[in-house]
Amino acid sequence: MTIPTVGPGSIRIEQDGADRFLLLHGLRVAKRGRVSRTKKWIPIVPWVASVIEDTHNSVIIRFARDKVGTA
């Protein structure tokens, strides 16, 4: 099984006040809460099941199989 990857610049982090958002192709897909010590990304679209920060330069986005195509 091949794991799909996206090119440089496809994923970025955006700050909006106290919140940080993870953008995939310009769309906000997850956020971190106001507590800066929280290391967990919270998905904010139904087709993303989870986001795991793998390293400082990469994340793993797990898509929700039953929600694909509903965004």
pLDDT, residue 30, reads 93
pLDDT, residue 62, reads 87
pLDDT, residue 22, reads 92
pLDDT, residue 58, reads 79
Question: pLDDT per position in the chain (71 positions), as tens?
Answer: 566 677 777 888 999 888 889 999 999 999 986 665 667 889 999 988 988 877 767 788 888 876 544 44
CA 32, chain centre distance (Å):
10
pLDDT, residue 64, reads 82
